[in-house]
Amino acid sequence: MLKSLLIAGALALLAGPAAAEVVERSADGFTLRYARSIETSAGDVVLALESIGAWWDGAHTYSGDASNLSIRLEPGACLCERLADGTFFEHGRVILLDDDHLSLNAPLGPLKGRTSRADLTFSWPDANAADVTVIMTFRVEGAGVGAWADGVDAVMQGQYDRLMHYVEHGETPGA
């Protein structure tokens, strides 16, 4: 039994770091990080990010329909959702886009109005490699928001998985 546990532990260490985790947590903040290497190009990652309405889970929108989400990948652009009454809800703003990452100020969903910081960053640091590591980091700060880390982690893990499916297969997850 002990031998089996030791072997399992060694295999877990060889597998590398967890693909997703709460990497920092306090009463007033948390940082989530998700990473996975896939055979793709940096250009495909950027195209997928720009097609957010094709992969985001509609259950985590105000309209119930992810196709109502849109984003232009340029500084200052809105990550917006078109609502049934014709108005728009701003989920975030692009604050930086360069060759290997996209950063947004994005207090998503119930975090809106409760955070002093909500940085959502997508990066692909090995953009010229055959296998690209796609990293999503979400750093949130605000009074008492640390208690929400696990719930937000569950939602963001799902979004990351959907993004990766879209990058790899070019289709809406679950389609």
pLDDT digits (tens, 9 = 90+) for 99-151: 999 999 999 989 999 999 999 999 999 867 778 999 999 999 999 999 999 99
- Segment among 9-23, 70-84, 119-133 with least mean pLDDT: 9-23
Count how many Cα atoms sit within 13 Å of the Cα of residue 31 in the half-sphere of its side chain: 8
Give the up-direction half-sphere exposure of residue 44: CA atoms within 13 A in the CB hemisphere.
20
Cα–Cα dist 45/58, whole Å: 20
Region 39-45: mean pLDDT is 92
Cα–Cα distance measured from residue 149 to residue 11, given in angstroms and rounded to the nearest whole number: 28
Provide, rounded to the nearest whole percent, the portion of the chain with pLDDT above 90: 78
Residue 32: both structure tokens together: 């989530």
pLDDT for 64 beyond 80: yes
Is pTM beyond 0.95? Reply is no
User: Looking at domain 18-169, which CATH architecture does it have?
Assistant: 2-Layer Sandwich (3.30)
Closest-CA residue to 134 (of 94, 99, 164): 164
pLDDT of residue 164: 96
The pLDDT of residue 17: 39
